[in-house]
């Protein structure tokens, strides 16, 4: 299957600071990438759909000014959590589509102290 990487794999930041998470498709081009959030022992919750060269589409209830998404190229999408708070602590996972399949990154564990 296709490979998606994320960086960093885990990050700890202080409340009020911003954190950027990178998602790269390593061996395919992804016109569309998706960002998910997952709380412990729960399913994946779609946050936004990111299309290369255009603005992201956010799911209802997701603050677009807090979770900034940029899809600069066919292989890179970034998620920036601005002014992070402890309630933003979660596991963030991106995915990229190749044909009908979606391939997920390994996830980024964000802890806000």
Partner 1 sequence: QQQVKQSPQSLIVQKGGISIINCAYENTAFDYFPWYQQFPGKGPALLIAIRPDVSEKKEGRFTISFNKSAKQFSLHIMDSQPGDSATYFCAASRGSSGGTPLVFGKGTRLSVIA
Closer by beta carbon to partner 1, 80 or else 104: 104
* Cα 49 to Cα 58: distance, rounded to the nearest angstrom: 6
Binding string, residues 4-23; x marks residues near partner 1 by CB under 8 A: x-x-----------------
CA dihedral 85, 87, 90, 96 (to 10 degrees): -70
Q: Are 69 and 86 in contact (CB under 8 A)?
A: no
By CB under 8 A, the count of residues binding partner 1 is 30
Numbers of helices and strands, H then E, in the chain: 0, 11
48-87 binders of partner 1 (CB under 8 A): 49, 51
Q: To the nearest whole angstrom, how small is the minimum distance from the Cβ of residue 11 to partner 1?
A: 14
Should residue 89 be labelled a site residue for partner 1 when binding is judged by CB under 8 A? no
């Amino acid at each position: 299957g296709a490979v998606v990487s994320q960086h960093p794999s885990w990050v700890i930041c202080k409340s009020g600071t911003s954190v950027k998470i990178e998602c790269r498709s390593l061996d395919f081009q992804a016109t569309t990438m998706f960002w998910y959030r997952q709380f412990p022992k729960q399913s994946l919750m779609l946050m936004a759909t990111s299309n290369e060269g255009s603005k992201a589409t956010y799911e209802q209830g997701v603050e677009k000014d807090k979770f900034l998404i940029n899809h600069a190229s066919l292989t890179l999408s970034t998620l920036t959590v601005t002014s992070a708070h402890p309630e933003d602590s979660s596991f963030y996972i991106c995915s990229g589509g190749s044909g009908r399949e979606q391939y997920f990154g390994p996830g980024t564990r964000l802890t806000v102290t």
